[in-house]
Structure 1
């Protein structure tokens, strides 16, 4: 099991992920989308999940919301009266009562809304499914949700095609909020939006988190947004955790070579400024046949022979800061 699962973490954890795995396919070479991942999400914080495409970010989000079933590991939810409940060990029937507490905002606001349903039906469906705001209370609750995400009550009678992409994502957020969750997975909620709209949605998520006391898992490839919105960050590569740190520490002093390469790849506003860290070379290895030892070694500029067999368990390098690299000389 990943070492960070056993490390003491200050604060009240709402979610604890321990040794989580998700393999697709069977036989000797299944696709290891998530491979022994461990981290915790504290109550009221926003945890960022970053990495290249194919690193397993969205799969983890879907595992936590039980849209897909895990292969192994634990996903402990501490939001219920029974204390830590292992979501991984639940059947879909057992998980159903918790769906109102654990919601997801999808990446594509166009595909996530039924084009044949008016917005009052989209939001009303969520309320009906979980037995909330029945009868005369239903429409006022729908109007309240629309206002909460920056839309107008009269928008309830429109169809999805009558809204812009940013407005549709606000509707997706309203749908997630409808059942009063305490944990939301935001799965790259900005990637389908224009840059001019992204900042508005980011600010909305930040405001809602403070107003409603939400806990967020924010999945993104936009490192600038993650730095602005998130309290801590988990860096993934090929289904494994490379680094976990408070946001300020990660951006000021990244400890893992992969994290440094990710940050170096971010656009530089000043064209005259030169990069001091080389960009990543080569492609992501196949998750069906990952490298031995450190999975990043085939693209790491600091890799040595020992990296092919060295134990890559997370180890502490600072206050609340862990990396999956055995070398201290880089």
Structure 2
């Protein structure tokens, strides 16, 4: 995949297999993409496509089976996949994660001030008298009030708890944040507020985001580029506007077609996805999407699945030249 001068993170041949023997579960299988400084990259796909696993790999909550995760910052280049736990620890302040379930990620026995202070203490930030003003500043930054610092997690709504999770991630002044489906546990009425908050913080703080989601409308609104995953593999990569206007891979087209249509008068012209997601322990040969593809041909069984660049910045794993 073509690299760019402002690349913050490059993923090369990333793999994560679970289990042993001849048929391990291939949760992530030879994934390649990059994240540019200051952008929001969307990671989309069905449940079971490997989105959250990639987020946990990038933050080293789990270890990869193989591949590289090249992180470029402050003139240095480090392979996150090759670092030991102790060698990775100094980078944890630069690479943070916002979890899907805000309540499960907050200690119910700790007041919010202690939740945020724990992050500050771990990385040696805002000690002593400077700690309380910094905690209040972070709470206000995410739309909460200073007095909220003395409450427990159960005293907040879901949207407020997610704001606390964002404040905790921001406490260590990160450069790169993985947002792992941060809206899926929230009411629809609250989701737009959190999306707008993330967009505002990105601009104000110069953050780079990997936004993992199954909500294609939110991805279209928030993300600069999109990576489409299926069964642990990348099907398509490109600028958001271009992908939504003209998807190159049949799977991307099927995902967009399956999204809800607000106008009941509109009719679908492309069949929706058929069948179930194959087992990642026994993926189909050739193109892994061929068992559900509406345009499958005999050649798909032996097709080359590697991403290829069909136009500047547009990549697809479909072997056809007439991908449209």
TM class by shorter chain equals over 0.9
Aligned residue among 209, 216, 237 for 1:223: 216
Aligned residue among 121, 132, 148 for 1:139: 132
Partner of 2:318: 325
Partner of 2:302: 309
Alignment partner of 1:171 is 2:136: no
Partner of 2:225: 232
Q: Distance in 2 between matches of 1:76 and 1:329?
A: 33
Q: Distance in 1 between matches of 2:4 and 2:77?
A: 17
Q: Distance in 1 between matches of 2:74 and 2:152?
A: 36
SS at 1:297 equivalent: coil
Alignment partner of 1:290 is 2:283: yes
Q: Distance in 2 between matches of 1:40 and 1:202?
A: 22
Partner of 1:32: 26
Shift of 1:11: 4.2
Q: Distance in 1 between matches of 2:18 and 2:141?
A: 39
Unaligned runs of 5+ in 2: none
Q: Where do 4+ consecutive residues of structure 1 move more than 6 Å?
A: none
Q: Distance in 2 between matches of 1:105 and 1:231?
A: 19
SS at 2:291 equivalent: helix
Alignment partner of 1:299 is 2:292: yes
Partner of 1:51: 45
Partner of 1:20: 14
Q: Distance in 1 between matches of 2:99 and 2:315?
A: 29
Q: Distance in 1 between matches of 2:105 and 2:162?
A: 9
Q: Distance in 2 between matches of 1:106 and 1:134?
A: 26
Post-superposition CA distance 1:36-86 (Å, at most 9, x none): 0010000000000000000000000000000000000000111245x1100
Q: Distance in 2 between matches of 1:134 and 1:10?
A: 39
Q: Distance in 2 between matches of 1:142 and 1:148?
A: 10
Q: Distance in 1 between matches of 2:5 and 2:235?
A: 22
Aligned residue among 117, 120, 126 for 1:124: 117
Give TM-score scaled by structure 2 length: 0.99
Aligned ranges 1:196-211 → 2 under 5 Å:
196-211=189-204
Shift of 1:91: 0.9
Aligned residue among 57, 63, 71 for 2:65: 71
Shift of 1:319: 2.2
Unaligned runs of 5+ in 1: none
Partner of 1:280: 273
CA RMSD of the aligned region, Å? 0.8
Aligned residue among 5, 10, 21 for 2:4: 10
Q: Distance in 2 between matches of 1:192 and 1:19?
A: 31
Partner of 1:107: 100
Q: Distance in 2 between matches of 1:230 and 1:132?
A: 31
Q: Distance in 1 between matches of 2:270 and 2:137?
A: 49
Q: How many residues align?
A: 323
Shift of 1:316: 1.4
SS at 1:273 equivalent: coil
Q: Distance in 2 between matches of 1:303 and 1:266?
A: 22
